[in-house]
Amino acid sequence: MDDDWKRLRVSGLCKQFARGSVILSNIDLTVDRGAFMCILGPSGSGKSTLVDLIAGFEQPTGGTIAFDDSPVRGPGPDRVVIFQDIGNALFPWLTVQENAEFGLRNFVRNRRERRTRALEALELVGLDKDTHKFPSELSGGMKQRVQIARGLVMDPHVLIMDEPFAALDAITRRRMQYELKDLWQRTHKTVIFVTHDISEALILATDVTVLSSGPGARILDTFRPGLPDERDPADPAFIAAYRRVEALIGHVQDAGDAGRGEAR
């Protein structure tokens, strides 16, 4: 894989399942290298399907996904997914260290190199003291940190995060958001972050894409919130951005209902 890519481009992406239900219709999306793209959408808007397509778990019915001009095929460590389900995403028989090394086993021969690389990633998420623990001994927030480290180890082009904090309690979730933001500012890894939480998106994103509610979800708007690095939910600019997204989603729900009525 070419290492100096400039953008991930999703164009004209459609997904229709065999029974005929259209999940996504004509999705266009450009994620610049180093961006933090939040994809916002209500439940059932096909966010997870979009993740599955970009990650390569599913094949699109139409359209392409490409790093610059080289299309992606199938799942691979250049697009690592961080999953929401904290209970099943980690390998429970492996220690934190072994979980972090998991992907490297197939790519890096040298055992010592695997160790140091995993340790570096664990250090980034603040888990270098818990390397010998098993997932069952970790809290939800720690489990997600292991998952993030396990992904970062692969040095992916894009880190795809599928509602990674949705299963955490509110306080841990907020802390993880700021930690992730800090991590992104240090590494400038490209992130695609899927969520249904507007304030979460506005705290994290450099770019926001809003999806309509499904079926047949499409993109309503893509914009840069243009907020300062230190995000404050009480900042008037933050509130304005929040309102903008809310208006979009609210407005579309009506239009979506009307559209559905016509289509079927």
Binding-site ranges for another protein (CB under 8 A) = 55, 57, 74-77, 79-81, 83, 85, 87-94, 102-103, 105-107, 134-136, 150-151, 154
Cβ-based nearer residue to another protein, 80 or 119? 80
Q: Minimum Å distance from CB 153 to another protein?
A: 8
Q: Minimum Å distance from CB 118 to another protein?
A: 12
CB atoms within 10 A of CB 59: 10
Distance separating alpha carbons of residues 99 and 106, to the nearest angstrom: 13
Q: Minimum Å distance from CB 256 to another protein?
A: 29
Cβ-based nearer residue to another protein, 51 or 205? 51
For residue 228, is the peptide bond before it cis, meaning its omega torsion is within 30 degrees of 0? no
Q: Minimum Å distance from CB 102 to another protein?
A: 6
* Nearest Cα to Cα of residue 143 among 196, 189, 197, 85: 85
Tokens of 241: 């951005």
Distance separating alpha carbons of residues 249 and 220, to the nearest angstrom: 8
Q: Minimum Å distance from CB 224 to another protein?
A: 28
Instruction: Find out whether 42 and 196 touch, Cβ atoms under 8 Å.
Output: yes
Cβ-based nearer residue to another protein, 83 or 238? 83
Helix then strand count (H, E) for the chain reads 8, 10
Instruction: Find out whether 204 and 227 touch, Cβ atoms under 8 Å.
Output: no
| Orientation angle between helical segments 111-124 and 170-187, nearest 10 degrees | 120
Cβ-based nearer residue to another protein, 64 or 88? 88
> Which contiguous run of DSSP H or E holds residue 7?
strand 7-16
Q: Minimum Å distance from CB 45 to another protein?
A: 20
Cβ-based nearer residue to another protein, 9 or 143? 143
Cβ-based nearer residue to another protein, 42 or 75? 75
